[in-house]
Amino acid sequence: MALYGAPIWAERLTTRAKALFRRPQRLVAQRMVRAYRTTSHAAACLLAGTPPWELDAGVLAERYRLKVEARERGEVPDAEEAERSLRAAAERLLERWRDALENSTYRIRTIPSDGRVA
């Protein structure tokens, strides 16, 4: 339900809207992994194996845009092409999530420069 209409609003998410969007996902992810309530959004999502909804919404918007463009050209994708497109979108989502985790401040504050886990 959280991603309903994502192709419409995904590209217009503001920083404030992303923060509001993360709160319920964080709670759900914390309950999934039985984490403490002090567990961050990034850590809870990673442990739960669920990518952040704003990244998921971006991929849904991208898939929708490709379908609309194909429809405008008069093309009808077959089942194999749709499956390939779905797998490629899932790979892009994982790449974006990995990049977001690598560039986040959580990792910097949690793991010191010498590599020891605090």
- One pLDDT digit (tens) per residue for the chain, 118 residues: 888 888 888 888 888 988 888 899 999 999 999 999 888 888 899 889 899 999 888 888 888 888 888 888 888 877 788 788 888 988 988 998 888 888 877 666 555 556 554 4
Please enumerate, as own/partner, the contacts of 7-11 that have beta carbons within 8 Å and a separation of 24 or more. Answer: 7/60, 7/61, 7/63, 7/64, 7/65, 8/61, 9/57, 10/54, 10/57, 10/58, 10/60, 10/61, 11/58, 11/61
Whether residue 26 lies inside any domain: the answer is no
**C-beta neighbour count of 116 within 10 angstroms:** 7
Whether residue 74 lies inside any domain: the answer is yes
Q: Which two tokens stand for residue 68?
A: 């609309």
Q: How many domains does the chain have?
A: 1
Whether residue 99 lies inside any domain: the answer is yes
Whether residue 57 lies inside any domain: the answer is yes
**Residue 71, domain extent:** 53-104
